[in-house]
Structure formats: structure tokens, C-alpha cells
Structure 1
Amino acid sequence: MKNLFHSYFESFKGLRKEIWLLSLITLINRAGTMVIPFLSLYLTKNRGFSLEEVGWILTFFGLGSVTGSWLGGKLTDKIGHYRTMVISLLLSSVFFILLQFPSSFWAICLGIYLVMTVADIFRPAVFVAISAYSKPENRTRSITLIRLAINLGFSAGPAIGGLIIATAGYSGLFWVDGITCFLAGILLLKLLHPKRAKTEMEDTFIQAKSAMSDKPYLLFILAMVLFGFIFIQYFSTMPLYYSEYHKLNEMQIGLLLGLNGLLIFLFEMPLIKFLESRRHTATGYLILGTFLTGISFLAINLSDWAGILVVGMLLVTIGEMIGFPFSNSFALNRSDGKKRGSYMALYSISFSISHIFGHNSGMQLINRFGYEFTWYLMLGFALLACLLLFILKKILLRENV
């Protein structure tokens, strides 16, 4: 047991102080965006919108995410990651507070769109910051630490948010969201030195190549759209499957979904440290992560035993733990010496696109063809993504010859 703990903490060693500070800022920021998990409840119970109207409002949520990611990449290439992150955090604090005031349908659509646009400007910039503040050999573990902060923030946020709603109502939620974004922005100003941002910014002007002119990278992005499309089913359509097909109650579903976060917290960093030492390519690991995610859908179709759901969750969690850090690392490494903001913006947009189409498409497929067909289709998408990544791997091998 002592050796296990030693190995766990050893996996965090070697990361720079700036990465730890960036993780702290990300944790505060993500825990602060606690209004997001309660958005559907707020719109139906507090504002009285129908489910159809909520669906359209959430479409604007996704569109804002795409716009913000694109704009974040542009700003990062022009003014650097440091200034871009500060702008995003401080403006987000204002927009989150203002979001409680619109009452009409179109006003809320516009409000949600603006909030997500401003908030997701942060995403490409934080990816570029990881590259600027970490050593090349520690990039994947640095990304994993940021992911750990995001997961902890998303775990703590809803719990705190529920308490705030119970005591101060939804209005209190918007105020706390705004204040925490403001605090994250102030911490960024105080703790991360802007000189590092200046150096990184100057480098981006030297090389003018952008992501849209990099055909192998576009192939990678297409594979990530497919990967994101199948992965998000576990947090939209899969809970319905747990409830309707396997008759699990809310507590059992919560525990099953919570297993995902717990396993990531305990094992992702040691797993990444171990895989990094194996000297395999990032694309090879991406194929493995995507394949495991797809196989999880096959597993739950093979048996009506409730325990198979745990097996499926284990498979998709391992796939996630491998897929996300190495995909992020690949995007960062591919952007070396190029317009890094445009590369990381496109990477962020790939998952925003998955969110726009994945949730609704999954629901429609289940409604029309049922769960079994839908899960087999997700397996097919995963295999297609694996094929694209395999082709990418061959292209990269030819590039390096």
C-alpha cells in the first residue's frame, strides 16, 4: 500500500510551478461555472420554458462554445494566451451575473450565446499556456493535471450549486458564478507572470502556418469529432438507458456516473506516466482509447446483466483516460512552431461540434431505432474514428521518413 501511494504521488513530480498554479485557477473557474449543470432546471422551473424551447436554448449554448473557441484561438495568436485568459475570466464574471436578468426566449438565447462565447475563449488559451509553461517531455502529464482540476471542479460545482439554490435561490448561483470567475482572473493576474506570455506571443508571429492548412491535422480533428460524438452519449443518452432498460434509480445512476470521476481522479495520472514511459506514439494511444470507448457500447449490448454496465463504464473511462490527454498532447505537439492558437481552437471546436449534434442525434436515434441499434452504431463510429487515426498514423510515418 505504501508503494502504491508513493507511485501515485511520484507521477505528479517534475511538473512546473506554473502548471500547478494554472490548475488551481482552472479548478476555481470550473467549480465556479456551477450554473451550467442546473441550466435546464432553471429554464423550466424558474423561467417556465417548454422542453422544446430549452432544446433550442441549449443549441445556442453549443453555438456560443464554437464561436468562443474560434475567437479564443484568434486572440491567442494575436495577443498571447495570458491576456486572452484574463479577458475571458474577467468578462465571464460580468456576463454570468447579467445572465439572471433576461426573461424572454430570444433574450435568453442571446445571453446564453454570449456567456458561452466569452467563457470558451479561455479553452484554446489554456491549452497554449500548458505548452508555454511545461517541458516538452511533461506536456501530456501537465494536460492530465489540468484535466484533473477540471474534473474536480465539475464534481464540486454541482454539489455547491445545489446548496446555493436551496439557500439563496438561482439568483445566488449567478452571483457566485460571476464572483468565482472574477477571483480566478485576479489569481491569474497575480500568480502567472505575463513575461512568459510575451515570449510565447512573439513566437507565434514568426510562423504563419495555421491549422486549416494542415491536412493531417484536419484528419485528426475529424476523428476527434467522432470520438467526442460517441463519448458524450455516456452523459446524455446512456442515463436514459440505465433508467428505462435496466430500471436503475437516480442514486444507482449517480453512483455509476460517479465511478467515472473517481477512477479518473485515482488512476489517470499514474496511467499517463506509465504510458509515456512505453515510447509508443500518441496516435497509437488514441486508436487504443477510441477502440476501448467503442467496445464499451458493444459490451452493454451483449448481456442484460446489470453488472455489464459497470464493465462498460470501466471501458469508456479507460478509453477517456487514454484518449483525451494524448489527443490534447498530439494537438499541442503538432502546433509547435506554428499558429498554436488556431490549432488549439480547432481542437476545442471539434468537441463543441460533438456537443451540438451528439446529444440531439443520440436522442433521435434511440427514439426511432431503439437502444441496441444506437449502441451498435456508436461502435461503428468508433471503428471509423480508429480507421481515420490509423490512416493519420501512416501519413505521419511518411512525413518523418
Structure 2
Amino acid sequence: MPSVVSVRAFRHAARETVSGLPREFWWLWISTLVNRLGAFVATFMALYLTLDRGYSASYAGLVAALHGLGGVVSSLGGGVMADRLGRRPTMLVAQTATALSVAALGFVHHPLAIAGVAFLVGMASNASRPAVQAMMADIVRPEDRVRAFSLNYWAINLGFAISSMGAGFIAEFSYLAGFLIEAGMTLACAIVVFLKLPESRPEQPGAGGKGNKGGKGSKGSKGDEGGKGAPEEAVGLGTVLRDRRFMGVVGLSFLVAFIFQQGAIGLPVAMGAAGFTPADYGMAIAVNGVLIVVLQIPVTRFIQHRDPGRLLVVSSVLAGYGFGLTAFAGSVGVFALTVCVWTLAEIVNAPTQTGLVVRLSPVHGRGRYQGMYTLSWAVASLVAPLMSGVVIDRYGAEWLWGLCAVVGTAAGAGYAVLMRRLPAEEPATGPAAARTGEPATERATDLAGEGPAAAPADVATA
């Protein structure tokens, strides 16, 4: 009987987790899963360059840095494209370009050509992220967004966990096969978008000559005072940069991203310097993927209607001190325990942070705002390897873990200050939202606790 009850409880929880989300979201979720199932190149790129091609570790690091630099360049560009051209065209262009550049990477052999194509792969693969996140915000009701972002994050990690296991077997057979399979899977992702996903970008009333009149009840740019009481202006990158509260969140996101990057950068270096083998590191870091796949959905059920400010404070501090505890690790088991701590922080932080970006974004500027948020992670992926290496070489790994604890504390304090008087969430605007009707807006207002929801202002893209 207890087993029957537990099975029923699990089924009920699963139904509640996946119910109520629009059909378009699930096609977007499938495209994400397909994309990550084919993510082989990131896993074996360093081995391909050093073992198969015979290049040095320094050259492999340079290629990885250029790949990251491409992501930095395309973060803002992808956000602008998502707002100007639309979410669907941006994803189609980015995913098709990713498929072509990944396939090309398997055929080029000259070191300059490899470095150049790797830069293009980084640009193309990162350009679709702001569009994906903006589309998700467009089509999902405010009260469901944290759950939706969690499910998407779960798909990313599930796909990557499976592809990481398959990458080793594929690499033993043929590295070229890995490049071509990833290109094919990315192209399949673009086909899903083309066939199943309609455009979700909100129509801009100002385009016909009536726009830019804020009007009664219109929402302003969501900056220092929560965006109330002023007409919303045309949204360009300057709008994003002048939004002081949002740029503060971007800065804090960079700090948190710097901490989480240590799982792939500082942790393997420190474990290697302490005499542990690559297999030991693999066992410890595998806990991260397993916990995300197992806990992401139940933890989301617990946090989805809780105050995002408190969640971000707690997750930032937990991440910092989770890595800080690594200074006391002396065995693989203890390393794995520290991974458990900061993985829990990651599970809470990722969907909450993405949902907060949506909440602070004007409806017609979601692409640009998501692009700026994506930029914070891309820059962290560039800065973290350089800074971590310097700290470990000059002062020792213990100082790096202490720095993580300090950075996590600072980020938590920053969130505590910036999260006061959050604005109400904008209602969903995509075609799926039109089918759900008015109650979604009313529920969003009740959750936000800020009175009647204001109608979106007329906005012209810059």
C-alpha cells in the first residue's frame, strides 16, 4: 500500500508540474532537448585538438577562449535580432548557422581555420538563447514562468548528460562523426522551430503611427521605481544600459556565473594539483548532472510561488559557500558533497534568475534584456578561466574557494538590496496566451500584489 500511495503521489506531482503550459512551450522544450542531445563538440573538443590533431594544450585553450568570445559578441546581437526580426527568424538563422559551422569545424585542419570557425560556432550557437528565453516569456503565463524555465533547464541538463556519455563512444569511432551528428541534431532543432513554432513577438502598436503614447495605465521602463507612472519609451540597447536596477542584476548575475564556472574550471585543476585523477573528478562532477535531473522538478514545485529576491539571496550565498567548503575537501566523497551544496544553489538560481529578467523587461524589449543577461554568463566564461588560473598559481586553490565564498556573500547582499519593490509581471503575449484569456493577467496581478495590472504600453523598437 505505501508503494501504491507513493506512485500515485508521484503521478499527481508530475501532472501538476507539466499541466497548464501551452503547446508551443512543449515544442520549444523538445527543440531544446534535441539540441542538447547532440551537444558532442563541447565535450570532446579539447581531446580532439590535443589527441587527434596533435595541437598543444595552450592552443586548445585559445580555441575555447575564441569560442567563448564568439558567444560574447552574439549575446547582444541575438537579443536585438529577437526584438527586431522576431524570435522565430532569429532561432532559425542561428540554428542553421550553428549546424553549418559545426559541420565545417570537422573538416578544417589548419590552426587558423580551426580557430576562426570555432569563433563562428560560438557566435551562432549563443545567438539563439535570447530568442528562446524571450519566446518562452511571450507564450507562458507569469505564474507559470519559473516552472517553464525550470523544465527548460532540466531539458538542457538531461540532454547534455546523455550526450556527454555518448560523446566518448562516438569519439572512439570518429571525431568527424561527432561533428556531423551535432550539425544534424541542430538542423533538426531548426526544423522543429520552422514547422511547429509560430512567431510570438508582441505586436507593436506604435508601428502604425499611433505609438509611443504611454497613456493611462501604461508601464514605463522597469528601472529604479518599478516602472510605474511613466510612459514606456522606445526600447534600444541604450534603454537597457540606462536601466540601473536591471544592470545591477546583470552585474550580480556575472558574479554568480563566475562562481558556477569553477565547477568546470577551478575544481578539476585543484583536484589534479591535489593528486586526484581525471576519473576522480568525473565521479565528483557527475553528481551535478544527476542531482539536476532528479531534483530540478520537485525543487521547482517548492520555489515557484516564493519570493524571487529571497531565493536569489539564498542561492547566491549557498553557491559561494558550497565552493568555499571545497577548501576542506580531502577525498572524492567530500568533493562530491560540496558539489551537492552548490548544485542545489544552481537548481534554485537558474530558473529564478531567468524569470526575474523577464519581470524587469519591457514587453517589446525582452530580446535585448535577455541578450544582456546572456552576456553576463558569456563574459564570466571568459574571465573565470583567466582569473582562476592566476589565483591558483599565485596563492593556491584555498584562496580561490575563499574568494568564491566572498563573491557569493557579496552577490547575496546585492540581491537583497535590488529586489525591493519588484514590479508586477507582464502577462503573456504570444498566440498561446490569447487562447487562455483574461484570467492569466488577473492571476499575475494577484501574485504580484501590486493592484490592477496595467496594459502594455505602445513601444517602437529602436
Structure 1 and Structure 2 fold alike (TM over 0.5): yes
Match of residue 190 from structure 1: 195
Find the partner of 2:20 among 11, 14, 19: 14
1:373 aligns with 2:399: yes
Give the C-alpha shift of residue 87 in structure 1: 1.0
Report how far residue 98 of structure 1 moved. Answer: 1.0
- CA distance in structure 2 between the aligned counterparts of 1:307 and 1:47, rounded to whole angstroms: 35
Partner of 2:447: none
The question of 1:236 aligning with 2:247 is answered no
* TM-score scaled by length of structure 1: 0.92
1:203 Cα offset (Å): 6.9
After superposition, give the CA deviation of every residue in 1:244-271 in whole Å (9 maximum; x if it has no partner). 33x4444443232121111111111221
For structure 1, the residue ranges without an aligned partner over 5 or more in a row are none
Q: Which residue of 2 aligns with 1:392?
A: 418
Q: Tell me, yes or no, if structure 1 residue 147 matches structure 2 residue 153.
A: yes
Distance 1:386 1:63, change over 3 A: same
Q: Does residue 200 of the first structure (1) align with residue 202 of the second (2)?
A: yes
**Residue 180 of structure 1, CA deviation:** 1.1
The aligned runs of 1:243-322 (5 Å cut-off) are 243-245=272-274, 247-277=275-305, 279-280=306-307, 282-302=308-328, 304=330, 307-322=333-348
> Could you tell me whether the CA contact under 8 Å between 1:204 and 1:337 is conserved in 2?
no
- Looking at structure 1, the residues matched to 328 and 186 of structure 2 have their Cα atoms a distance apart, in angstroms, of 45
Mark the structure with the bigger radius of gyration.
2
Name the SS of the counterpart of 1:14 in structure 2: coil
Q: Which of residues 354, 358, 377 in structure 1 aligns to 2:380?
A: 354
Q: 2:431 corresponds to which residue?
A: none
Tell me, in whole angstroms, the C-alpha distance in 1 between the residues paired with 2:33 and 2:98: 15
The answer to whether structure 1 residue 175 and structure 2 residue 180 are counterparts is yes
Alignment pair present for 1:43 and 2:66:
no
Query: How far apart, in 1, do the equivalents of 2:55 and 2:343 lie?
Result: 34
Return the offset for 1:303.
5.6
Q: Secondary structure at the match of 2:419?
A: helix
Percent identity between the two aligned chains: 25
Q: How does 1:79-118 map to 2 (within 5 A)?
A: 79-118=85-124
More helix by share: 1
**Is 1:325–2:351 an aligned residue pair?**
yes
Gaps of 5+ in 2: 1-5, 212-232, 424-449, 452-462
**SS state of the match for residue 235, structure 1?**
coil
Give the Cα separation in 1 of the matches to 2:58 and 2:317. Answer: 34
Aligned length: 392
CA contact (8 A) 1:77 1:204 kept: no
Cα distance in 2 for partners of 1:15, 1:86 equals 23
Task: Kindly indicate whether residue 336 of structure 2 is the aligned counterpart of residue 334 of structure 1.
Answer: no
The 1-side partners of 2:322 and 2:206 are apart by 41
Q: Retained in 2: the 8 A contact 1:290–1:385?
A: yes
Q: Deviations along 1:215-261, whole A, 9 cap, x unmatched?
A: 1000000001110001110112212333433x444444323212111
The residue number in structure 2 matching 1:222 is: 251
Describe the SS at the equivalent of 1:61.
helix
**CA, structure 1 residues 8+258, in 2 after alignment: closer, same or farther (shift >3 Å)?**
farther
Task: Say which is worse superposed, 219-228 or 29-38, in terms of deviation.
Answer: 29-38
CA RMSD of aligned residues (A): 2.1
Q: Deviations over 1:173-211 (max 9, x none)?
A: 1111111111111111111123xx3x5254797652332
- TM-score normalized by structure 2? 0.80
